[in-house]
Structure 1
Amino acid sequence: MCQLLGLNANTPTDLVFSFTGFAHRAAEHKDGFGIAFFEGPGARLFVDHQSATESPVAEMLRRYPIRSRHIVTHIRKATQGRVALENTHPFMRELWGRYWVFAHNGNLIDFQPKLHAGFHPVGDTDSERAFCWLMQELAKNHARMPSIPDLTQTLAELVPVIARHGTFNFLLSQGEALWAHCSTKLHYVQRRHPFPCAQLQDADMTVDFADLTTPQDRVAIVVTEPLTSNEDWTALKAGELAVFVEGDRL
């Protein structure tokens, strides 16, 4: 299945280190990759149906000094939907005057919801259908942007409707918070002062975060499989919905 990586921080943060290790996993997940990162209310989205090990877009991103407080990235191993640009995660939609981005790892069987509002899939994946349905139901439940606790409560009610159809690991962000839902496998680490020296599991690369941060910085990384070999990663439980704000788990 696919692999997920998300970042949530209280200050614009560089993802090059984590993305380098993450992209090494594309040898087994070669059906496309994408990354979305927020700059204030704006969002940049880069997707390619090529593998992250071959894509010139991925090569650019390994060198591009992306600094953002909210990042969602994905490498795809297709289960539903052909290998095509329109089926490449993350997907992005607008709701309540904010961009929302979504990436999914899993396989949903016979999930064919009625979509009757302003949200319809462009591609033919179960993932995009699930995202559109979530956006539709959020819009039906709230006339305007609710608080993050209220959004989390609504998502906690909606997600099981989808999850009963199969594996539904996902990351979701609207540029203020990062929601992570685990069906089978998802891990997170929170970095704060004193920052560690971290070693990637998938590449020969080490970074001393103490040289790149201030004592006030806080960063949360959420990923399918732990990226580093010397940090204490926490595994989310099946059915658990976590939300991160300003680099902290609420």
Structure 2
Amino acid sequence: MCQLLGMNANTPTDVMFSFTGLATRAHEHKDGFGIAFFEDRGVRLFVDHYGARQSPVAELLQRCPIRSRNVIAHIRKATQGRIALENTHPFMRELWGRYWVFAHNGDLKQFEPRLHGAFRPVGDTDSERAFCWLMQELAKAHASVPALPELTRTLSELVPQLNAQGSFNFLLSNGQALWAHGSTRLFWLQRRHPFRPTRLRDEDLTVDFAQLTTPQDRVAVIATEPLTADEEWTAFEPGELRLFIDGAPA
């Protein structure tokens, strides 16, 4: 299965400590990687069909970290769709004048929804088909951009239909907030004052967040597997959908 990483914060934040932990696992997930950083209404999206350990794009990001309030990253272990750039997560579409970014971990068996209008897949993954279907159904449900709680209610009605097709762990953001859904395996934590040193589980790297933050900072991190060895990660319940705003669960 692929690996997901999401971050939602109340101030632009460097995600590269967590991304380093994610990239360490790329020897088992070598079929591509991608990461998206929201900046207001804009998105910096980097994808490569090479694994995060071999990709020069990943090396560039390590040298030039980007701060963002909403980040979605993915390392791929292909189950459906060939290894190619168009099949590399995260995927991006426009809806209601905003970019939406999506990444998926799982396997939707024989999922071939009816798609029309603006939302059609470019590649041949079940993940991109699911994303296009979600965007299509959101657009059908709301004539204009709804409030975040209303969006969450609509997603909570749509997601079980995808969950019934197989395993469907995903991250979704429009730059205002981040939604995370745990079908089989997903974890989250919140970092807030008082901050302290934290060590990665898969890499000999420690960061003292107290030296890099202010007492007002809040950061929520979501991952397929806990990335650190000395923090308390909370597992999603099967089928649980969570909304994160300003570094906290809503």
TM-score past 0.5 threshold: yes
Measured in 2, the distance between the counterparts of 1:247 and 1:16 equals 17
Q: Does residue 227 of structure 2 align to residue 214 of structure 1?
A: no
Deviations 1:44-95 (A, max 9, x none): 1000000100000011111212100000000000000000000000000000
- 2:165 match: 165
Measured in 2, the distance between the counterparts of 1:128 and 1:40 equals 24
Q: Does residue 182 of structure 2 align to residue 182 of structure 1?
A: yes
Contact 1:86 1:122 in 2 (8 A): yes
Any residues of structure 2 matched to 1:111-122 within 5 Å, and which? 111-122=111-122
Deviations 1:18-39 (A, max 9, x none): 1111100000000000000101
3-state DSSP of counterpart to 2:38? strand
RMSD: 0.5
Deviations 1:169-226 (A, max 9, x none): 0000000110000110000010000012100001100001010000000000000000
Any residues of structure 2 matched to 1:16-31 within 5 Å, and which? 16-31=16-31
Shift of 1:16: 1.3
Give the residue type in structure 2 aligned to 1:208: D
- 2:204 match: 204
Deviations 1:110-151 (A, max 9, x none): 111000121000000000000000000000000111011000
Give the residue type in structure 2 aligned to 1:171: L
- 2:39 match: 39
Any residues of structure 2 matched to 1:51-90 within 5 Å, and which? 51-90=51-90
3-state DSSP of counterpart to 1:20? helix
Measured in 1, the distance between the counterparts of 2:248 and 2:204 equals 28
Measured in 2, the distance between the counterparts of 1:214 and 1:221 equals 17
Give the residue type in structure 2 aligned to 1:77: K
Measured in 1, the distance between the counterparts of 2:194 and 2:241 equals 28
Taking structure 2 as the reference length, what is the TM-score of the superposition? Answer: 0.99
Any residues of structure 2 matched to 1:123-134 within 5 Å, and which? 123-134=123-134
Where structure 2 has 5 or more consecutive residues not aligned to the other structure, the ranges are none
- 1:237 match: 237
Give the residue type in structure 2 aligned to 1:123: G
Q: Does residue 111 of structure 2 align to residue 146 of structure 1?
A: no
Measured in 2, the distance between the counterparts of 1:179 and 1:15 equals 17
Measured in 2, the distance between the counterparts of 1:90 and 1:82 equals 16
Contact 1:47 1:85 in 2 (8 A): yes
Give the residue type in structure 1 aligned to 2:190: Q
3-state DSSP of counterpart to 1:168? strand
Measured in 2, the distance between the counterparts of 1:238 and 1:66 equals 32
Could you list the structure 1 runs, at least 4 aligned residues long, displaced by more than 6 angstroms after superposition.
none
Contact 1:16 1:63 in 2 (8 A): no
Measured in 2, the distance between the counterparts of 1:244 and 1:5 equals 14
Give the residue type in structure 1 aligned to 2:239: G
3-state DSSP of counterpart to 1:101? strand
Shift of 1:232: 0.6
Taking structure 1 as the reference length, what is the TM-score of the superposition? Answer: 0.99
Where structure 1 has 5 or more consecutive residues not aligned to the other structure, the ranges are none
- 1:11 match: 11
Measured in 2, the distance between the counterparts of 1:202 and 1:29 equals 14
Paired positions, count: 250
